[in-house]
């Protein structure tokens, strides 16, 4: 039976390798996108390989947290609370990186650092929601209450995300609707050739693995701290 | 009527009740004494369904509190050291409101009856914030008795009352058919424990350390036991 | 007794308590008024952009003063221990939630409706627009009160209560504010209903979904 630390190391190494490959593929090997005018734009487009997986992982993280919240409320097992907080912390990190990377891409492409378009605005609101989640947690001392409130909030927040997105989308749009459209609309859109698709999905996979790895690392810390609490209770029972 | 088996309550990593096994039969009057932090209020809150046990079993009036607390609520009246009343409303308004929540039959009559019994008729339209502490406690007792509960939980009801007011309270309590109710009263005051009820229980550090029938002891013995356990904690 | 009567009893109790002191309603009203006035100064609202900004100003005023009411409602209950009095009683937690939510909605709606005529006057709008704005105000208020009551029940147990409620609540009620503003704008600009219909549907759906969700989750928030 392999020692858990060995497995963890193994996972870290694999993730590291995949991420490096992803970077190489995205920045170097993937072909230039067609209908983009300037070289700056063409290079900036490559951020798409990181940006979109980033969003995907952020979304996944929040989904996992909501499900973990529901499972906590049902079972009252503290491990679900650990999964919830770990997922949201990791998700928030990706969310932040996504907002920043999106902004970096926006400058050369749309000539603005920020714009109030649906995906971006929803992401910003999501960011605020989950920062609120962390603030809620830090304001409660009782661990059971903290877990309960956190669970309720993460479920409600997640269910609200599609509604928020819909509302903002009805309001405005200039973000390139790349997936599920006929060859790329909006300013800065581009067509998805087969190689581009391959690289994209590779990066998606690499990012998802990165999420899992970071989650496990964070979970380990959380489980350890839960174990310390249990031991403390045990000692006090004398 | 009230039964706990191995009741444990923890707040985070802080253990407040460390395995309480207590049995109170129907119609018994038990006083519970203990120093600050012993867990008296925590125990009362769990019995009153305001708090859930971390482990162990609690049966009140035959209802398992972890499974069916709602049924138990019909049978319990709680008098806490906080009044749990609405300061801005009048005594009468407070009682009428709770009468509705407790499904009391003929609420107006019952409210008047209780207000008169507690000596509050005449001030019933004044806001509770204008009542003295003693009057507020009497109103709290009236609220606890609205639905004629078979179980009465009194959590340090004499808090903040001077000796005279406490004696009045005691007299009033005895008038309210205590004999037919199951009563658990917590107090700081060993005199009450020695003078009231059928059994005295000492709670220290979340554990029951001593129990005795009042007929088999006196104030001096009780005090000696209390000091012994409280100081060795 | 029928649960509906218990719900109304809770609303009546909150109303009676508030009418005695009027401190909360007074504060909310003054606050809403101040928000409108401050916006006037801050944006130097002159005739041209007045009509464009009007709906936004109205809803910022309603939302912020609504937050005030929401947090005060549970803080009052908790500090005097009366929330425990409610929990002691053989009343379904859902009934307590509906009672509190209805009470909150009532207070916020009352303030919104009192503010409306002032708003219409200050922004030089036609009085004919008031019934529509009133309807929108009521719908928006329900949206605010659903999740707002749930979150204020949470926030009251925390250290930074008054600050935490807006932080938690605002992101989630974005659809309510957006819909309400869009609908108000349509009313002010006298557009046909069909143009703003999607916003109306969104608002109603949000109101229902989140009121139901908050009702379901309230149990978990007040248990101990």
Contact C89 B73 (CB under 8 A): yes
Comparing CB atoms, the residue among B51, B73, B101 nearest residue C9 is B101
**Is A143 at the interface with chain B, CB within 8 A?**
yes
Contact A141 B18 (CB under 8 A): no
Contact C221 A152 (CB under 8 A): yes
Closest approach of chain A CAs to the CA of C47, in angstroms? 25
CB pairs under 8 A between A and B: 16
The answer on pLDDT for A186 being more than 60 is: no
Contact C178 A167 (CB under 8 A): yes
Residue A31 domain flag: no
User: What pLDDT, in 10s, does the model give residues B133-144?
Assistant: 888 888 998 999
Neighbours of chain C (3+ CB pairs under 8 A): A, B
Average pLDDT over all residues of chain C = 88
Is residue A2 very low, low, confident or very high in pLDDT (cuts 50, 70, 90)?
Answer: low
CA nearest C60: which of C73, C43, C48? Answer: C43
Cβ-based burial of A196 (10 A; exposed 0-12, middle 13-18, buried ≥19): buried
Domain that holds residue A229: 40-236
Show the tokens assigned to B80.
């806490």
Residue A141 domain flag: yes
The answer on pLDDT for C69 being more than 50 is: yes
User: What pLDDT, in 10s, does the model give residues C131-178?
Assistant: 999 999 999 999 999 999 999 999 988 887 788 999 999 999 999 999
Strand order through the sheet with B207-213: B76-79, B151-155, B182-187, B29-33, B199-204, B207-213
pLDDT at residue B179 in the model: 67
Number of structural domains (chain A) is: 1
Collapsed DSSP state (helix, strand, coil) of residue A109: helix
Specify the pTM.
Answer: 0.87
CB contacts of A76 in chain C (<8 Å) are none
Average pLDDT over all residues of chain A = 80
Average pLDDT over residues C16-32: 86
Residue A201 domain flag: yes
Show the tokens assigned to B159.
């808090």
**Is A136 at the interface with chain C, CB within 8 A?**
yes
Residue located via tokens 């609405």 = B86
**Is B58 at the interface with chain C, CB within 8 A?**
no
Average pLDDT over residues B68-88: 88
pLDDT at residue A32 in the model: 67
Residue A154 domain flag: yes
The answer on pLDDT for A189 being more than 60 is: no
Comparing CB atoms, the residue among C17, C21, C90 nearest residue B73 is C90
- CA B181/CA B99 separation, integer angstroms: 20
* Separation in Å, CA B1 to CA B72, B177, B183, B184: 11, 17, 10, 11
**Is B73 at the interface with chain C, CB within 8 A?**
yes
Residue A11 domain flag: no
Ordered DSSP codes for A55-79? HHHHHHHHHHHHHHHHHHHHH--HH
Residue A71 domain flag: yes
Contact C88 B48 (CB under 8 A): yes
CB contacts of A155 in chain C (<8 Å) are 217
Comparing CB atoms, the residue among C5, C82, C87 nearest residue B86 is C82
User: What pLDDT, in 10s, does the model give residues B1-43?
Assistant: 888 888 888 877 678 888 889 899 888 889 998 888 888 989 9
Average pLDDT over residues B197-218: 84
**Is B15 at the interface with chain A, CB within 8 A?**
yes
């Amino acid at each position: 039976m392999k020692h858990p630390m060995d497995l963890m190391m193994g996972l870290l190494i694999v993730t590291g390798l995949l991420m490096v490959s992803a970077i190489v593929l995205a920045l170097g090997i993937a072909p230039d996108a067609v209908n983009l005018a300037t070289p700056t734009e063409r290079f900036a487009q490559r951020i798409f390989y990181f940006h979109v997986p980033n969003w995907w992982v952020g979304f996944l993280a929040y989904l996992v947290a909501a499900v973990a919240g529901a499972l906590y409320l049902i079972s009252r097992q503290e491990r679900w609370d650990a999964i919830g907080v770990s997922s949201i912390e990791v998700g928030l990190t990706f969310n932040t990186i996504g907002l920043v990377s999106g902004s970096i891409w926006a400058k050369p492409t749309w000539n603005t650092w920020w714009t109030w378009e649906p995906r971006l605005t929803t992401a910003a609101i999501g960011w605020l929601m989950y920062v609120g989640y962390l603030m809620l947690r830090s304001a409660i001392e009782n661990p059971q209450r903290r877990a309960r409130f956190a669970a309720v909030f993460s479920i409600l927040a997640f269910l609200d995300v599609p509604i928020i997105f819909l509302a903002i989308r009805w309001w405005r749009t200039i973000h390139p609707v790349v997936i599920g459209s006929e060859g790329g609309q909006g300013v800065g859109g581009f067509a998805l050739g087969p190689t581009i698709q391959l690289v994209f999905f590779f990066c998606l996979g690499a990012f998802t693995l990165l999420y899992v790895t970071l989650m496990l690392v964070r979970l380990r810390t959380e489980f350890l701290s839960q174990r310390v609490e249990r031991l403390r209770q045990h000692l006090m029972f004398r | 009527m009230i039964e706990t088996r191995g009741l444990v309550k923890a707040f985070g990593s802080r253990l407040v009740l460390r395995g309480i096994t207590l049995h109170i039969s129907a119609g018994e009057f038990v006083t519970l004494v203990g120093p600050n932090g012993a867990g008296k209020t925590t125990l009362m809150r769990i019995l009153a369904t305001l708090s859930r046990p971390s482990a162990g079993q609690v049966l009140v009036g035959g209802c398992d509190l972890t499974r069916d607390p709602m049924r138990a609520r019909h049978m319990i009246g709680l008098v806490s050291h906080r009044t749990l009343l609405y300061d801005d409303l009048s005594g009468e308004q407070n009682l009428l409101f709770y009468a509705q929540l407790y499904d009391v039959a003929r609420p107006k009559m019952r409210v008047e009856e209780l207000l008169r019994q507690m000596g509050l008729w005449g001030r019933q339209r004044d806001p509770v914030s204008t009542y003295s502490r003693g009057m507020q406690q009497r109103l709290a007792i009236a609220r606890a008795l609205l639905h004629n509960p078979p179980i009465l939980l009194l959590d340090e009801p004499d808090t903040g009352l001077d000796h005279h007011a406490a004696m009045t309270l005691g007299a009033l309590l005895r008038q309210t058919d205590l004999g037919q109710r199951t009563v658990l009263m917590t107090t700081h005051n060993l005199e009450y424990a020695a003078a009231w009820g059928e059994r005295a229980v000492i709670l220290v550090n979340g554990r029951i350390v001593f129990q005795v029938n009042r007929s088999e002891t006196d104030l001096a013995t009780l005090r000696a036991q209390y000091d012994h356990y409280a100081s060795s904690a | 007794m029928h649960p509906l009567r218990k719900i109304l009893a809770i609303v009546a109790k909150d109303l009676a308590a508030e009418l005695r002191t009027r401190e909360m309603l007074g504060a909310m009203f003054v606050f809403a008024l101040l928000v409108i006035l401050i916006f006037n100064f801050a944006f130097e609202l002159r005739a041209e952009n007045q009509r464009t900004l009007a709906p936004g100003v109205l809803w910022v005023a309603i939302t912020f003063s609504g937050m005030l009411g929401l947090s005060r409602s549970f803080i009052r209950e908790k500090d005097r221990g009366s929330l425990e009095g409610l929990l002691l009683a053989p009343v379904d937690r859902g009934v307590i939630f509906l009672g509190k939510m209805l009470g909150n909605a009532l207070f916020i709606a009352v303030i919104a409706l009192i503010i409306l005529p002032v708003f219409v006057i200050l922004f030089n709008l036609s009085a004919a627009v008031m019934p529509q704005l009133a309807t929108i105000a009521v719908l928006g208020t329900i949206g605010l009160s659903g999740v707002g009551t749930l979150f204020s029940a949470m926030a009251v147990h925390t250290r930074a209560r008054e600050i935490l409620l807006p932080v938690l609540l605002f992101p989630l009620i974005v659809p309510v504010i957006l819909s309400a503003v869009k609908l108000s704008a349509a009313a002010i600009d006298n557009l046909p209903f069909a143009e703003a219909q999607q916003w109306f549907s969104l608002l109603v759906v949000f109101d229902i979904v989140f009121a139901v969700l908050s009702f379901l989750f309230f149990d978990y928030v007040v248990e101990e």
